[in-house]
Chains A and B, each alone.
Chain A
Amino acid sequence: MKERTVTVYRTAKKTVDEFTVPYNERTTILDALEYIRLQKDPDLMYRQSCHHGSCGTCGMAVNGEFVLSCIKRLADIPEDQAVRIEPLPTMHQIGDLAFDPAEFFNEFPDDIEYKRVSEVNTDAPVPRDMEHYERFESCIECGLCVTSCPVTEDWMGPAALASIHRMIEKNPDDADTWLDRAADKRGVERCTKDFSCSRVCPTGVAPGKRITLLGSMIKKREKARASEEKPE
């Protein structure tokens, strides 16, 4: 196996530690951190769970790029480049690379559903006691979009707004209620259309596009309401 030097941010020292890690073509940043924790420093703090980009716990900054460390491969970083691993900057830091996502999750409305109709083989017959095949939403709630967002004012953020847009797509009859929430002053109007959220999203949710669509829906509703109020 080849070897590579990586630097890891350490909270206690307010500086970085340097480690040499073995790697092959499949080794990810998370694998490298596992090696460091198990072989070099058992106190290294970072979040991890599924190891395949489904749980959303392991977001980090690698050379300044916001990624899921479990699917970001060391081999994809040119060998002449250093590998600098840091925590996601806007999250509530609890040590080294670890953060507590409570503030992030608290932006999601309580009644956001986490499942949707499967998009695969939609014409195929389904078992007799089922309406349709279902699957989890694509959004894994990793927070990379929120971290990448340049908006500095307090607002709901791209993940929560994208989830609201998904609710409208799934339940168009309830659009009004959801649009009320998106039209909050901490909502859509704060977006500066930078679209960095869509660029960093590891599962293709395109929050930027969804926020823009919410904005158009809100405008259209305002127009419709205004014309209703006009006397004949």
Chain B
Amino acid sequence: MQPMGNVSDTHVVVVGGGGTGAAILYDLVQRGFKATLFERGELTCGSTGRHHGLLHSGARYVVKDRAVGRECMNEVRILKRIAPEAIEANRGVFVAFTEEEEAYRETFEEACAEADIPTQWLNADELLAMEPRLNPTLRGGVMVPDGTLDAYRLPMHFFAGARQLGAVIRNFARVESFVFEGRRIAGVTVRDLRTGTDETVACDLVINATGGWAGKLAAMADIDLPITPAPGTMLAHQGRLVNNIIERLRPASDGDILVPQRGLSIIGSTQWQSDDPDDCTVPDKDVDFLTRAAIDMVPDFKDTKYHKAWAAVRPLAGASSTEEEGRELSRDFDVRNHGTLDGVEGMLSLTGGKATTLRIMGEKTVDVVCGMFDVEVPCRTADEPLPNYRQFFRHGVLV
């Protein structure tokens, strides 16, 4: 992989060092832009690293949204190719434990077929042979190409690719304000936490890739960005009980995903609503609820040892005032150009999205950037394998 040289002298500042920022940054420098990323803490310290680790084939969303399902499936195929070391490429099984869940099979399989997600029905005997710890009352299950991603190492693959191609990455550097020229953003003022000093960095475009914090950053430019920070709890116990991701064959709800990862079993999730994306305190009731939900699917979970309960903020696109409305918000993402939408030039915001689709979020965002600056370079991030995450550190310490 060789840097292409700057097809453009355009300097783009990406704010937010999560998975989305990583994929945008990599795509930007691969297409020849100059790019600098600022992250207020360590890379992936927001929602990104706290992900439960389910690499979505799209099956979880497909009944409600064929397009999102299809997109996830396509991204799973790509990520397995470009970042194999960041994925436990096993499978997922949507298990029917009840008669009602078994009745959902047809709807589910039809939707998967329409979105190009391959499925295979396993009867109760076949499924119990494959996963002997599942609750033996089960009636069968639909196997899909879900997997487990390493929520830290997958984005670090993208950061490694970006750094190799000359992107500037600044962690512990917090954007404090925007520099305006009239109604156009011409730069950012950044506090370097290492030195405690402020500096101004000029740029042609700012990309707000701060996930659940996108509304807060936009507000610094007097932009009202409709976003719903929706935290959810996850619970990890010690001991790997299954090899496939275990989900329930029913419309997506709480406590219906058990993810094996390394030597852990992680049950997720719940969902509540918060005005403050930083407020991620785990409610006591969530831990009890998730423990019961896991035992319901895999009874041996009760004999495993508590490891950790934690919460992370989903960056749902759109506004909602109640938890019920929040659940109806799509997991799709949106690239918003504040020049056309809000009369503030020089800034794009990403809202929505999820870990599995980080690469395509990068691609679609940089497509918009190319359009803005008349750059005609096609995206190549789906074609070229990423360097391993450890390569990120081959370039020395970050300053």
Q: Which residues of A does B touch, CB under 8 Å?
A: 12, 26, 28, 34, 38, 42-43, 45-57, 70-71, 92, 94-95, 98, 100-106, 108, 110, 112-115, 118-121, 124-127, 130, 133-138, 140, 203-204
| Chain B, Cβ-Cβ closest to A12 | B196
Contacts of A121 in B (CB 8 A): 130-133, 242-243
Q: Which partner residue on chain B sits nearest A133 by CB separation? A: B243
Stretch of B54-62, B84-92, B98-106, B313-321 that contacts chain A? B84-92
Pick from A54, A112, A133: contact of B261, CB below 8 A.
Answer: A54
Chain B positions 252 through 295: 1 when the CB is less than 8 Å from some CB of chain A, otherwise 0: 00000000111110100000000000101010000100000000
Which of B66-74, B335-343, B360-368, B391-399 is the contact stretch? B391-399
> Which of A38, A53, A70 interacts with B278 by CB under 8 Å?
A38
The 8 Å CB contact of A54, one of B48, B89, B152, is: B152
Kindly report which residue of chain B lies nearest to residue A141, judged by CB atoms.
Answer: B390
Nearest residue, chain B, Cβ from A38: B278
Residue from B85, B151, B241, B396 within 8 A of A113 (CB atoms) = B85
Instruction: Assess whether B42 is interfacial by the CB under 8 Å rule.
Output: yes
Question: Are A94 and B261 closer than 8 Å at their CB atoms?
Answer: no
* Interface status of B359 (Cβ within 8 A of chain A): no
**Contact across chains for B310 and A52 when beta carbons are under 8 A apart:** yes
Given contacts A26-B309, A45-B193, A54-B262, contact A134 B90 (CB under 8 A): yes
Whether B240 lies near A135 (C-beta < 8 A) is yes
Residues of A within 8 A of B50 (CB): 49-52
User: Within 8 Å CB of B86, what residues of A?
Assistant: 114
User: Across the interface, which residues of B come within 8 angstroms of A140, CB to CB?
Assistant: 262
- Cβ B390 vs Cβ A70 within 8 A: no
Complex partner residue of B393 from A28, A105, A136, CB under 8 angstroms = A105
Q: Which of B172, B196, B309, B393 sits near A98, CB closer than 8 Å?
A: B172
**How near does chain B come to A149, taking the closest CB pair, in angstroms?**
19
Given A52-B234, A52-B264, A203-B262, do A136 and B287 touch, yes or no (CB 8 Å)? no
Q: How far is the CA of A55 from the CA of B53 in the complex (A)?
A: 12
- CA of A43 to CA of B40, assembled, Å: 9
A32 → B minimal CB distance (Å): 12
B388 CB contacts on chain A under 8 angstroms: 110, 114
B243 engages A100 (CB within 8 Å): no
Verify B262–A136 contact, CB threshold 8 A: yes
Q: Would A127 and B91 count as touching, CB distance under 8 A?
A: yes
The 3 closest A-B pairs by CB, nearest first: A49-B49, A55-B152, A105-B393
Return chain B residues, CB-CB under 8 Å to A105.
390, 392-394
Contact check, A101 vs B194: say whether CB atoms are below 8 A apart. Answer: no
Interface residues in B291-330 (C-beta closer than 8 Å to A): 307-310, 312
Given contacts A94-B194, A95-B172, A133-B243, contact A51 B49 (CB under 8 A): yes
Q: Given that A114-B85, A134-B90, A138-B262 are known contacts, is A98 also in contact with B42, CB under 8 Å in the complex?
A: yes
- A124 engages B129 (CB within 8 Å): yes
Query: In the complex, A112→B390 CA distance in Å?
Result: 10
Q: Please name 9 further chain A to chain B contacts, defined as beta carbons within 8 Å, in addition to the given A50-B49, A52-B234, A71-B308, sorted by A numbering.
A: A45-B41, A45-B172, A50-B152, A51-B308, A57-B42, A70-B308, A119-B240, A130-B90, A135-B243
B236 at the interface (CB under 8 A from A): yes
Chain A residue at minimal CB-CB distance from B395: A102
Contact at B172–A120, with CB atoms within 8 Å? no
Q: Which of B45, B391, B397 gathers the greatest number of chain A CB atoms within 10 Å?
A: B45
A130: B residues at CB distance < 8 A: 90-91
A21 to chain B, nearest CB (A): 12
Question: Bound complex: CA of A57 vs CA of B150, how far in Å?
Answer: 13
B88 and A136 within 8 A (CB): yes
B67 → A minimal CB distance (Å): 26
Known contacts A45-B193, A115-B85, A124-B131: A53-B308 contact under CB 8 Å:
yes
A49 and B48 in contact (CB under 8 A), knowing A71-B307, A94-B194? yes
Known: A95-B194, A102-B397, A134-B89. A49 touches B151 (CB 8 A): yes
- Contacts A94-B397, A124-B129 given; does A49 touch B263 at CB 8 Å: no
With A49-B48, A52-B310 known as contacts, the answer to whether A92 contacts B397 (CB < 8 A) is yes
Least CB distance from A15 to B in Å reads: 16
With a CB–CB cut-off of 8 A, which chain B residues contact A203?
262-263
**B44, B85, B307: which contacts A52 (Cβ < 8 A)?**
B307
Q: List 28 A-B contacts (CB under 8 A).
A: A42-B174, A43-B191, A45-B41, A45-B194, A48-B42, A49-B50, A52-B264, A54-B152, A55-B150, A94-B194, A95-B172, A100-B398, A101-B393, A102-B397, A108-B390, A110-B388, A112-B390, A113-B85, A115-B84, A119-B240, A120-B241, A127-B91, A127-B143, A130-B90, A130-B91, A135-B243, A138-B263, A203-B262
Shortest beta-carbon distance from B235 to chain A in Å: 9
Chain B residue contacts of A135, Cβ below 8 A: 88, 148, 240, 243, 260-262
The answer on a CB contact under 8 Å between B196 and A118 is: no
Residues of A within 8 A of B395 (CB): 102
Distance A108 CA – B388 CA, assembled complex (angstroms)? 12
